[in-house]
Amino acid sequence: MDRLHEWVGRRFVDFKSLIDGGLIAQWSYEPKVFAPEDLKAASTEYKGTTYAVKREPTAKEKEDMMFGWLVESGVTSNSVIYVKDLVTVGIGTGEQDRVGVAEIARDKAYRKLADRICFERLDMSYNDLLPKDPERAKQIREDVAELKGGLQGATMISDAFFPFRDGVDVGLREGVRSVLQPGGSINDYQAVEACNEVGATMVFTGQRSFRH
């Protein structure tokens, strides 16, 4: 375990067994982004017009971006995760679209916060509370909704580009104020504009995080 850091960024042959007895051999994913200086402020050109984010990420946001990008490399595609204060708040994976995984990650964040509040107040999970005391459960749901699942100020990490702005909007509506994604969509300008509308920032990695 004390030598794991020596293997960061090194590729290996990944073997996967199939249900029919087959075997797939593939090179492991190799991240290219390891430091904040590797991140590129989101900027793109569409029909002769340049679109760029108006706000640079803060040092704290960059820390969450780097942490989230490395976590993302271990999450099965397709995926979106939310990170705050170097902690994963919600993970969505295995869907065919950005909106779906962004919503799954959001919903998990809400459920995790409901559980946390339940344990702090009542020493039980939300699912245990619900049938016993629906009124208290309702109050906790309202508290979680007011806190937007703990996503306010979080960073949204996507393993692939957003084909449209609707995926980014899922996070921005919850108070996400920084986004990291590979970039490369013909509609990157939509995601950039979505961030600018709410004062959020966005960076491109220039590389997709891919794991199957």
pLDDT in tens, 33-92: 878 888 999 999 999 999 999 999 999 999 999 999 989 988 888 899 999 999 999 999
pLDDT at residue number 212: 64
One-letter amino acid of 55: R
197: left (phi over 0), alpha (psi -120 to 50) or beta: alpha
| Structural contact between residues 37 and 1, judged by C-beta atoms closer than 8 angstroms | no
CATH topology of domain 4-28+35-204: Cytidine Deaminase; domain 2 (3.40.140)
pTM over 0.75: yes
Express each pLDDT in 101-134 by its tens digit: 999 999 999 999 999 999 999 999 999 999 999 9
* Ranges of each domain in the chain: 4-28+35-204
What is the C-alpha separation between 97 and 167, in angstroms, rounded? 8
Amino acid at 115: D
